[in-house]
Amino acid sequence: MEKIKDLAKIIDHTNIKKGAKKEDILKTCQQAKKYGFRGVCVRLEWVKLVSKELKGTPIKTIALIDPPIGDSPHQKRIKMCQRAKKDGADELDVVMNIVNAKHERWEKILKDLKEICKILPTKVIIGSGYLTDKEIIKASQIAKKAGAFCVKTATEKDPLEHRELKEKFYHLKLMKKAAPGLLIKASGGIRNLKDAKEAIKAGADIIGTSSGVKIIKELKRKK
């Protein structure tokens, strides 16, 4: 499988811990450079540092926006995204307003995401663990309609975080079918090579994980 051979190039190396310190973020950046990961995904407050550390490399600086359920007011969300751009982000990983999704306020979600997608290339996090199959399909379609280039399963505090990944992999298939042409990002609970392979098999184009180093080391041992 081609994606397995170039696995590092599809991993967004992630450090979104609330208690992360500067040295932790710097270590994440160093690992990304050493292993050639696709990007480094961090909270908004670390974007400027990451952008500086990754300057001159092809590795993308990715800002996580409005975790865990995307329920900040629209204008606040816009300001977060604008700050991310100003601080040097290349991409946004934006949590869709999951409360609005559960109340089927799809037009409101679409309007919010359309504005955000104009700021920087955007992955929309739909929080698939909170949603029914029908809602996952609709959310994926909305992400595509809004102008996102990628739809992503989850971020912190996802209800499926501590359960088997099988359900998330099923969600990936739903997302892929619902939004043809969009990239699919799998995240939350992918901690080893076996998980990564299963995610790719289910349709993932990008993998978001804090276990990138462990996964690549496992891959090298298999060769």
CA-based R_g, the chain, Å:
16
Each of the 223 residues of the chain gets a pLDDT tens digit; together they read 567 779 999 999 999 999 999 999 999 999 999 999 999 999 999 999 999 999 999 999 999 999 999 999 999 999 999 999 999 999 999 999 999 999 999 999 999 999 999 999 999 999 999 999 999 999 999 999 999 999 999 987 777 655 567 888 999 999 999 999 999 999 988 999 999 999 999 999 999 999 999 999 999 887 6
DSSP code at position 125: E
For 145, other C-beta atoms within 10 Å of its C-beta total 15
Residue 195 is a catalytic residue: no
For residue 165, what pLDDT is reported? 72
Q: What pLDDT score does 188 carry?
A: 81
Q: Which amino acid makes up residue 140?
A: S
* Nearest alpha-carbon partner for 130 in 67, 222, 209, 44: 67
Active-site entry in 123, 144, 152, 176 = 152
SS3 content of the chain, % helix, strand, coil (to 5): 50, 15, 35
pTM score: 0.95
Task: State the Cα–Cα distance between residues 134 and 115, nearest whole angstrom.
Answer: 25
Active site residue 24: no
- To the query of whether residue 152 is one of the catalytic residues in this protein, the response is yes
Active-site residue identified among 60, 138, 168, 185? 185
Q: How many residues does the chain have?
A: 223
- Look at residue 160 in the predicted model and tell me its pLDDT: 64
Q: List, in sequence order, every residue forming a beta bridge with 42; answer none if it has no partner.
A: 15, 63
Could you say which of 87, 93, 112, 158 is catalytic?
A: 93
Q: Where are the alpha helices (DSSP H) in 43-132?
A: 47-54, 74-86, 98-102, 106-117
Torsional sign, CA 104, 105, 106, 109:
negative
pLDDT at position 32 is 98
Would you tell me how many other CB atoms lie within 10 Å of the CB of residue 48? 16
The Cα 61–Cα 122 span in angstroms is: 12
